[in-house]
Chain A
Amino acid sequence: MHLPSRAARRASLWSIATPLLALAFVVAACSSSAASTTPIAPSASTALASATPVPTVAPTPSPTPAPSFPLTLTDDEGGTVTLAAEPQKIVSLTPAVTETLFAVGAGPRVVATDDSSDYPAEAKPLPDVVTFGTVDVEKIVSLKPDLVIAGGAGFTAADAIAKLRDVKIPVLVVSTPSIEGIYKDIELVGSAVGATDEAKTVTTKMRADMQAIATAAQAESAKASTKPRVFYDVGYIDTTGQIYGPAEGSFLAEMLGLLGVDVITGDKVTYEIPIEKLIERDPQVIILGVNAFYKPTPETVAKRTGWKALTAVKTGDIRSVNDTEITRPGPRLAIGMHNLALAMYPDLRLPPVS
């Protein structure tokens, strides 16, 4: 499942809000979303084991020739996408895909993105074809793209994907709950745009960076006799007291696990954790995932109903971290992992990740 900062909220929103949205405005996406995700959640250890040894330089392109066009690919939701030639006009409907396209060198061929695609800087001025979650299908059609890449699990409205396919526009849907899945998605996007080797280079470096961070963090974690209980705060609704954390089995929970902490997770589908359960699990550290739309502070957290019973609140161990890189399943995930590791272990010495 996609879990960039906005997506986390939006994706779970779709699953809850579908009935009302259908009533409130007919244009709403009536995807039954999250439930349809195929859980491919390898444990932390398999993710580590499958990481390739640390290369100091980028590997030379593999001798196996990249698949040539015409090309047929199977996407994360089982859809088959046939591409007659290398796509020259690409539309990205998620911020993570936009980042991936630029990272594999296909940036100049991107003609439009969604409204939350804010990285890299070149992506910002591109026309938006998704506004507040609503896909402007007509605008996409008018751009005559030869490839649209959408988010699965309800991130991109399912009816919009169906409409685009109806008018014979190839739509590749990417969606994953796991770190390993993120590497696969980057490679899938790379193959689709004729940048297989570039994508492989990106993921090889990501795997190496992630493993280096995990190894260092686990060594730091091993110094203490027990793993610290950590809650990563993804969102909080003051009027209802609803608390959102890393979904069970999500890549965010997996990342925290790789850092050698005892992760306190939210519900697999809704991301929610009831306050009573949070008190029972009693986090020793709270990490606030701060972004443009969610700006909690240690002071506001301490005032939340019932939170003063938490050890982290009593000891004041509430830390803030910019969550955009951490929760966006794209090529900057290792940077997010780096920031998360430093938030967890401020004294950790890590080589810079670019």
Chain B
Amino acid sequence: MTARTIPGAIRRAGFGGRFRGRTTVIGLVGLGLLAVLMVIGVTVGSTQIGPADTLAVILHRLTGIDLGRTWTDATETIVWELRLPRVLTAAVVGAGLAIAGATFQGIVRNPLADPYVLGTSSGAALGAAIGILLPVSFVALQLGIVNVLAFIGAIVAALLVFRVGGAGRSGGMTRLLLTGYAVGSILAALLTMAMYVSGTNLRTIFTFLLGGLGGASWERLLVAAPVIIVACAAVVARARSLDGLLLGDSAARHFGIDVRRERGILLVLASMATAAAVAITGLIGFVGLVVPHVVRLLVGAPARRVLPISAIAGAILLVAADLVARMLGDIPVGVVMAMLGAPFFLVLLHQARTGYEL
């Protein structure tokens, strides 16, 4: 969508060129920052490994080139099997949740929407709890039954809300939001019951609810990342539809958008990305709700700018938060993220000279 094709009122809302050059700069700076954070993320941990060894191990594993082997097997395992998949998982999940959050906020036109608005979180948590409580263990592709059931739970909850909430129909999104809330409440009640009877498994369920990157591995990343990346790329490709939906159904129709179809597709894509993220990292909050708002304050409202910058910012936030969390003895990443991110968000909100509306 270009500035020429949209009405003045929309242009004034930030759809115009005011932020255009700035977006590219912010994007490039963001990518640079992300790269630096990822290198630090792989270098820092409870074991001291020098940056030279870290890079040498990665170079060795990627290309087979050996510039004099100075490291031990243990160092190689720590860098290659533990830290690298963890940092990459943080980046992919952070990006995925931020894009999913931006998408849901646009579709339901509510600034408080997050990736879990369709009951995905309760569905995933209940699925995981069932997986933890079932007396069977099952491992395929290094994905435990917990990961698989969390994914299924998230998808089933989202589809249920989608059908019952009438997301396929035209009309307001209030019904969809409230259906999400109601279905989420039922699932949360079942989860509470599961936790109540879980005995020694309570801690396992609890850590899933906290969310975290400790369980990251190449296998889990290689299963979840394609889902997240493909879904997010497809959302970005539909940025124009998302802009249209944000303006309301009738306005969107004027732009020639098939409202019901586009809304359905976007909801499914964002739910897929969320479910895949939740399945491997548990319930990580904050990033999906706040990052899109921060990005809108920085680059304006058009989805074609908000979505890619949200992906970069989400990745930065989660990689940085996980890094700090690990340095503080692996405390829950959600705590760090809120403590780092919320003050930054408050400052931006305060500085926004023009009022900020979604």
Q: Contacts of B214 on A, CB cut-off 8 Å?
A: 240-242
Inter-subunit contact B81/A309 (CB<8 Å) = yes
User: Is B47 at the interface (CB under 8 A from chain A)?
Assistant: yes
Stretch of B54-62, B99-107, B202-210, B287-295 contacting A (4+ beta carbons < 8 Å) = B202-210
Most buried by A among B142, B204, B209, B216: B204
Most buried by B among A13, A132, A239: A239
User: Is A196 at the interface (CB under 8 A from chain B)?
Assistant: no
B residues in contact (CB < 8 Å) with A: 45-47, 73-74, 76-78, 81-82, 128, 132, 137, 139, 142, 144, 146-147, 192, 195-204, 206-210, 212, 214-217, 282, 329-330
Shortest Cβ distance from A309 into B: residue? B77
Q: Given A13-B202, A238-B215, A241-B217, list of 5 further CB < 8 A pairs? A: A239-B146, A282-B74, A305-B81, A305-B216, A309-B76
Inter-subunit contact B81/A25 (CB<8 Å) = no
The answer for the CA separation of A239 and B210 in the assembled complex, in Å, is: 12
Instruction: Name the distance in Å between A11's Cβ and chain B's nearest Cβ.
Output: 10
Instruction: Name the distance in Å between A143's Cβ and chain B's nearest Cβ.
Output: 23
User: Is A211 at the interface (CB under 8 A from chain B)?
Assistant: no
Shortest Cβ distance from B279 into A: residue? A239
Q: Known A13-B203, A272-B330; judge A279-B192 contact (CB<8 A).
A: no
Q: Specify which of B77, B128, B203 is in contact with A16 (CB 8 Å cutoff).
A: B203
User: Is A122 at the interface (CB under 8 A from chain B)?
Assistant: no
- Top 8 nearest A-B pairs by Cβ distance? A309-B77, A13-B203, A305-B217, A241-B214, A240-B214, A276-B47, A276-B46, A240-B215
Inter-subunit contact B200/A10 (CB<8 Å) = yes
The answer for the CA separation of A293 and B200 in the assembled complex, in Å, is: 7
Shortest Cβ distance from B326 into A: residue? A274
Instruction: Name the distance in Å between B122's Cβ and chain A's nearest Cβ.
Output: 13
Instruction: Name the distance in Å between A130's Cβ and chain B's nearest Cβ.
Output: 11
Inter-subunit contact A239/B200 (CB<8 Å) = no
Q: Contacts of A300 on B, CB cut-off 8 Å?
A: 137
The answer for the CA separation of A74 and B203 in the assembled complex, in Å, is: 32
**7 A-B contacts, Cβ less than 8 Å apart?**
A6-B200, A10-B200, A133-B202, A239-B146, A279-B77, A293-B200, A303-B142
Inter-subunit contact B200/A276 (CB<8 Å) = no
Q: Known A239-B282, A272-B330, A309-B78; judge A17-B45 contact (CB<8 A).
A: no
Q: Contacts of A89 on B, CB cut-off 8 Å?
A: none
User: Is A9 at the interface (CB under 8 A from chain B)?
Assistant: yes
Inter-subunit contact A239/B147 (CB<8 Å) = yes
Q: Specify which of A16, A20, A238, A293 is in contact with B144 (CB 8 Å cutoff).
A: A238
User: Is A350 at the interface (CB under 8 A from chain B)?
Assistant: no
The answer for the CA separation of A17 and B196 in the assembled complex, in Å, is: 13
Q: Specify which of B82, B195, B207 is in contact with A305 (CB 8 Å cutoff).
A: B82
Q: Per-residue CB proximity of A1-31 to B under 8 Å, as 1/0?
A: 0000010011011001100100011000000
Inter-subunit contact A242/B198 (CB<8 Å) = no
A residues in contact (CB < 8 Å) with B: 6, 9-10, 12-13, 16-17, 20, 24-25, 132-133, 237-242, 267, 272, 274-277, 279-280, 282, 293, 300, 303, 305-306, 308-309
Q: Specify which of A25, A239, A277 is in contact with B47 (CB 8 Å cutoff).
A: A277
Inter-subunit contact A306/B77 (CB<8 Å) = yes
Inter-subunit contact B74/A9 (CB<8 Å) = no
Inter-subunit contact A239/B208 (CB<8 Å) = yes
Inter-subunit contact B212/A240 (CB<8 Å) = yes
Q: Contacts of A241 on B, CB cut-off 8 Å?
A: 214-217
Q: Contacts of B199 on A, CB cut-off 8 Å?
A: 6, 132-133, 293
The answer for the CA separation of A184 and B251 in the assembled complex, in Å, is: 78
Q: Known A280-B47, A303-B139; judge A240-B207 contact (CB<8 A).
A: yes
Instruction: Name the distance in Å between A39's Cβ and chain B's nearest Cβ.
Output: 19
The answer for the CA separation of A330 and B330 in the assembled complex, in Å, is: 33
Instruction: Name the distance in Å between B192's Cβ and chain A's nearest Cβ.
Output: 6
The answer for the CA separation of A132 and B201 in the assembled complex, in Å, is: 10
Q: Contacts of B139 on A, CB cut-off 8 Å?
A: 303
Inter-subunit contact A20/B146 (CB<8 Å) = no
Instruction: Name the distance in Å between A66's Cβ and chain B's nearest Cβ.
Output: 38
Inter-subunit contact B77/A13 (CB<8 Å) = no
Inter-subunit contact A276/B282 (CB<8 Å) = no
Inter-subunit contact B330/A309 (CB<8 Å) = no
Q: Contacts of A277 on B, CB cut-off 8 Å?
A: 46-47
Inter-subunit contact A306/B192 (CB<8 Å) = no
Instruction: Name the distance in Å between A212's Cβ and chain B's nearest Cβ.
Output: 33
Inter-subunit contact B195/A24 (CB<8 Å) = yes
Instruction: Name the distance in Å between A226's Cβ and chain B's nearest Cβ.
Output: 18
Inter-subunit contact B142/A25 (CB<8 Å) = no
Shortest Cβ distance from A293 into B: residue? B200
Shortest Cβ distance from A275 into B: residue? B82
Inter-subunit contact A279/B74 (CB<8 Å) = yes
The answer for the CA separation of A310 and B329 in the assembled complex, in Å, is: 21
Most buried by A among B144, B192, B199: B199
Q: Contacts of A293 on B, CB cut-off 8 Å?
A: 199-201
The answer for the CA separation of A280 and B73 in the assembled complex, in Å, is: 11
Most buried by A among B73, B132, B144: B73
The answer for the CA separation of A280 and B72 in the assembled complex, in Å, is: 11
Instruction: Name the distance in Å between A293's Cβ and chain B's nearest Cβ.
Output: 5
Shortest Cβ distance from A238 into B: residue? B144
Q: Contacts of A24 on B, CB cut-off 8 Å?
A: 192, 195
Q: Contacts of A242 on B, CB cut-off 8 Å?
A: 207, 214
